[in-house]
Chains A and B, each alone.
Chain A
Amino acid sequence: MHIMEGFLPAEWCAAWYTFSIPVVVYGAWIVRKRIDANPGAKSLLAVAAGFVFVLSALKLPSVTGSCSHPTGTGVAVVLFGPAATAFISVIVLFYQALLLAHGGLTTLGANTASMGIIGPFAGWLVYKAIRRFGLKTAVFAAAAVADWVTYVVTSFQLALAFPANPSLAGVIESTMKFMAIFAVTQIPLALMEGVVAALLVSYLVEVREDVAEVVAA
């Protein structure tokens, strides 16, 4: 669930756009470079993007009695790294903002920062840290963390714009309030996403030898 259109004050929209645009441009450049170096990466990119498309379309019920959707960025970040994932996420966020009135054009920068950049980056760090304990474990953790951190960041973005009172304590209080809505709902969904992502990546390794090299490090 992304930040709704118009629900972030203009100065915050601008700030998050400023944060996100350079990463997305860099991500597009990385994607270009990967495809030039290895044309076989093109179809892999389509699979990673497809995973984001499917998972972020599924609004699932959760323990809190509300619905939210996973992000699906885990596979992309494992195969292509965080910058390319930002580029892929923008495509999906743009589709949803334009055609579904889900998220928004003014909040696109902020939503890209959470779903496309900070969440996947956290997942990628976890992946790098625990890769040596096995591929499936690492992909599971990367996808679950990328998903969950996305919503922690969303909560924090809303809290910065809507602090309970104008102080650091107010921001923390609001973060807790939004976390109770977003982050708690997301826990079971993030775990589910981790399992599905691990299955997909291990199948890719099985049928495409060159993917084994990509995920070796």
Chain B
Amino acid sequence: MADEYIIRNGHVYDPKQGIKGDVMDICIADGKIVSKVSGKAKEIDATGKTVMAGAVEIHAHVAGPKVNEGRNYRPEDKLFTCKATGKTRMEGGFSIPTTFRTGYNYARMGYTTVMEAAMPPLYARHVHEEIKDTPIVDQGAYPVFGNNWFVFEYLKNNEETNVNAYISWLLRVTKGYALKLVNPGGSEAWGWGKNCDGVHDPVPYFDITPAEIMTGLMKANEQLGLPHSIHVHTNNLGNPGNFETTLDTFRLTEGVKPNNKFGREQVFHHTHVQFHSYGGDNWGNFESKAKEIMSYVNQNKNITIDLGCVTLDETTTMTADGPFEHHLTELNHLKWANLDVELETSSGIVPYVYSPDIKVCAIQWAIGLELGLLAKDPMRTYITTDHPNAGPFTRYPRVFGWLMDAKYRNERLSTFKHSEKVNDATSLGSLDREITLYELAQMTRAGPAKALGLTNMCGGLAPGMDADVSVYNINADRLDGASIEKAFSSADQVFKSGVLVVDNNEIVAEPAKRTFWVDVKVPENKQVERDVAMKFLKYYSMNLGNYEVSDHFAPHPYVIEVDAS
């Protein structure tokens, strides 16, 4: 039996229940939030501190083949960053930390649920092996669907039930959580060294366009009623002028309504929007289009986004957008890893130094923050760095500081080498909004939990929910950037499903973590069974009988069942 706890007198921020900093107690028993506990409950004094639900990471690259290639091919990322701790497993790495450090650092920051953003199905076993070795945090992974040959063929032929059956099968055999689309069509084109630059560019040899792929999968997702919506990284990432492509993508959602039993209200999540909000037509006249992007997002309630804020560090970019990484290595000449996966996807990795002395990097930094500050609905706008692409997740507290303290933000803005040009290219300097603690809880807890279809489980402090709770030594009276950064880097206490995992800023327990995956029941579909068997025989390099991820790779599964039969 798990211990009972009572967290006393903290300023509680819980958008789930609309609690805005009221001083109150939070009770924990049997792994859940409860309304009261017995006299035996251990007390945590949170007087003058902030209490929030455990944070929910909606998009980060933390496990799997490209993450590990990133680790293995960047020994220099570990140089002088490895520590002897003695109590926990050894930790190392800055931009791409080891699995142990990943779990510990998320927990230290008060995060308790972390979604891996891109899982190549053929490598699902690898992703789950790493998830298993990432301590503390609950995790799920999004298999990539946007460049999958089955999907292309079924969508091209308008075979809706077959798409649905295939999705159901692939989610089950990979133990996947949601449908991820990365540069739809473009990553397949990369198999021939080509790309799809816009949403209406046809995919070579497959007679389908990115728009059709996104629309088709969005409809399938709603027909099946999955917990999360489709999770998209659209075409043309990282290029000047790409905001048009992004708006073209957003428009595909018009008129589409959510259908699910999980309280999710969006039909489309667009990730790391910072990389998709660029104006200009070259790096010389490169500028922010955050206003145009956010004006669309603000008006359309069936879209959610995450930011992808640049943190101005040396980091490692990695994405299933193979052609983009090739483009990047041509720009910075740093080492390029690429991995094309048969019938499914591609991916690439390139180290990148976001230098404050480079104009483009500083503008990218500003765009990420602009998006956050222009968001009218914090429940639909989530803070990420697209870890490790725009910066490591361990910099979230610094991003919080920039978003929550205008002075802190402007100090940074005014000390760039090219500050004036950055001001000309963005509107950040004119924004005086400061994100509040309540809004922060929306953007890092309640919001992402809702978008993921987990709103009754995590991201809130209502009785009956999982007891994921973080206590931070800060309150609304002293919200300066440095204090924010310090407090959110290292929570005083963190509970994971009712177990005290961080106490006095240190990891004290590593309870069994869960693997979330989605099991959708659909009517039996012999056609899809035959197609799968045939494609494995002819085109895969692995036998079908060895494809499914067996149960021992997810020793503590949390299976979300969906009936679409």
Partners in one complex: no
Binding site for A on B (CB under 8 A): none
